[in-house]
Chains A and B, each alone.
Chain A
Amino acid sequence: MGDFVPHTEAEIAQMLADIGLESLDQLFEVVPEALRLAGGLAVAPGMPEADVLAEMGRLASKNKVGSDLICFAGGGAYDHDIASATTRLAFRSEFVTAYTPYQPEVAQGVLQALFEYQTLVSRLAGLPIANASLYDGASAAVEAVNLAAAATRRQTIWVSGGLHPHWRSVLQTFAVGTGHHLVDVPLRGALTDWSAPPEGGEEPAALLVASPNYLGAIEDVRAARAAADRHGALLLAAIDPVSAGLLRSAGEDGADVVVGEGQPFGTPLSFGGPYLGLFACGMDQVRRLPGRLVGQTLDTEGRRAYVTTLRAREQDIRREKASSNVCTNQTLIAVACMIQMSWLGTAGLRELALRCARGTRYAREAVTAIPGVELLATAPTMREFAVSLPVPAPTVVGRMAEEGFLAGVPVGIEGGIVQDGGDALLIAVTEKRTKEEIDSFVSALEKAVR
């Protein structure tokens, strides 16, 4: 047998003889003959390692990345530096090739890393409990909505018009199954207007606000809390974990559940995945927490040990009554996040947020000085901002790519709800962007909008 099946022909013959068979085909006699695949798979024959890597290299070379396409795009996926320590440690095969820690005695490494991750996410969110990760920011938002509906026994969710449009789409997809009713609450300018209740609806289970929102604007989470209180609803807040380095935590501002996209801490852009769903909540919701949770305990000899806990919430035990169907999560990405956050540390996280905000302000002032380019709406921003342009954004993005820039993500607003695509441009600046790069970007943009 070939490549990754180690058996020699002689060993196969012996093993077959041991179980009373003469050929490998006989192993599959339990498959009715009519269903057996005649002639094998219509898939090309296998390739040697070097050829595979050459082919993967060919595909990789057909993508423009890095210094060929300097990244000013954000929209939920950010071009941050990653510490060498993070990359080197998170790629250790003990983490990469382990299974879910069902046998805690031989999984203390992953379990303790997740325990430390939960602690860091809890501090970031300003809430006492965080789970061991979900798939991405959008799936974390879906789980938050499901938690709120279960906690309040209500079906309606008020969703800020400033939420990431892809997240809104994911929420809508899953709401078809759960029967939850999503009501869009429009933006006034760049910020959610919670003052007028959406018409004709039932009382909401929760309000879902993103801060900073998709346009980069910092929302008033306390105002959202007050609105939630007026309706006896939970407050679900989607945060950007980098911005959290400067902003007051959503938990402190009254959010019951905090979700977020953890990609900025230690995960490359990766064409959108695997990313990391951050999820934190109060102790009052712990029995409804989706997914895995690691707790500290002791072993038989009184030594500190870690184990997945409150397992009765989970699908393998509770089956159709489980708090969520999630099983496989994003553990390895959570481990990378734990290492990157520890490397950043208390001072580093603040400095990272500060540097993003500085670059964003510098770029925003220069970009909006270009004739015909204006802020889409005025509001305080942190790490990205949206501008209207004299030329449609997709055209500008195409022109800017010729100059070696990924200029941003096209965005629009319809009826106070942010939309994917559109003629405006969402521009993000991370700590990686130098003054020189921003200056060249602005010069190129000046030509591209003519």
Chain B
Amino acid sequence: MAHVESDNGARGTVESAVDASGAPIVKISGEIDISNAEMLGRSLERIVGAGGGPRVVDLAALEFMDSSGIAMLLRAAARVDSVQIRNPSSIVRRIIECTGLAGVLHLES
């Protein structure tokens, strides 16, 4: 688990986990912005790896994300076949939809 805390900056974590059905997922929690997106992104890319089937990213514990977080997710998504976004907040859902990215960052219904 990567825990990144900059001086008064955003506090966020990326960790691998399994969901209730036993399937592997990536959980992102806390906040993502310009102060920690690069470091968290390196952890995310390490966890999702490259190629293979779809990856599920669970945002249930994500408190805040701006376009720095979107860029981080897009970099990870470019390395694998597809990324499913689970439990986005309404504002994260709105960001993904209004920037035309729902075809890349698939929102689970």
A pairs with B: no
